Amino acid sequence: MTDRTPRTVPEFTAALQAHSESYWDTHPFHQRLHRGGLSEPELRSWIANRWYYQKWLPQKDAAVIANCPVPEVRRRWVQRLADQDGAAPDQGGNVDWLALAEAAGLSRAEVLDERHVLPGVRFATDAYVNFARTRPWIEAVAASLTELFSPDLMRDRLTALRTHYGWVEPAGLRYFEQRPAVADADSAHALGLVTEYCTSREQQDAALAALAFKCDVLWSMLDAIEHAAAAG
């Protein structure tokens, strides 16, 4: 018989952390980006495609809130919408992402009309949003835990952009300057929720499966971007 005993919090946390092994920091496209191996069109393709992921994040987070019956969770989670959407049209993470696009030579119009967005990126991102809309809210919170692994990657990316891609205007780097601290705080909050609310073995297994799914979402996005780059 399989063991249905719940994991202790340290065991469960370690099992979640172990998913860092399938995180997208080791994807060949990210490794090439970080060592300075991308051409200008390849970096622009990555930025335009990541826009599609970024733009859906507030609606993904709104789905978590819509499905969550716990007021104190909603009160804290709504901050994620505010962080990406900003308090005004010229503020927030998504505006900072558009500034990155412009700093890399893309027009705002060609990012917003999504002409560069690849089918695989669209498919993977849509799957994540759909997951958040249709699965229990705590599973969507668990899926967000890839962010536990993101702060170091984003700090390295900032260094890579400054070191290897000097043609990107420094004014466009704000997203990655401010995001690691937010990701640290958000992922710590999400980890606390997952360990608090996933107390049965079944709930813990579902959370682990959600995090594995999200690693696949991110990996698939980069597969699509890398494939398009190879095809020229």
Residues that bind ligand PQQ (CB under 6 A): 57, 144, 146-147, 150, 153-154, 179
Beta-carbon contacts of 191 under 8 Å, excluding residues fewer than 6 positions away, are: 13, 16, 145, 148
Q: Measured from the CB atom, is 70 or 200 closer to ligand PQQ?
A: 70
The three-class DSSP label of residue 157 is: helix
Nearer to ligand PQQ by Cβ, of 6 and 79: the residue is: 79
With respect to ligand PQQ, which residue has the nearer C-beta, 49 or 150? Answer: 150
Smallest distance from the beta carbon of 232 to ligand PQQ, in angstroms? 25
Closest residue (Cβ) to ligand PQQ?
146
CB 113 to ligand PQQ: min, Å: 22
* Alpha-carbon span 125 to 232, nearest angstrom: 23
Measured from the CB of residue 129, what is the shortest distance to ligand PQQ in angstroms? 10
**How far is Cα 40 from Cα 20, in angstroms, rounded to an integer?**
29
Q: Which is nearer to ligand PQQ, 186 or 198 (CB)?
A: 186
Considering beta carbons, is residue 6 or 59 the nearer one to ligand PQQ? 59
Tell me how far, at minimum, the Cβ of 25 lies from ligand PQQ, in Å. 7
Nearest distance in Å: CB 86, ligand PQQ: 13
- As a whole number of angstroms, the distance between CA 150 and CA 23 comes to 9
Q: Residue 169: CB partners within 8 Å, gap ≥ 6?
A: 102, 103, 104
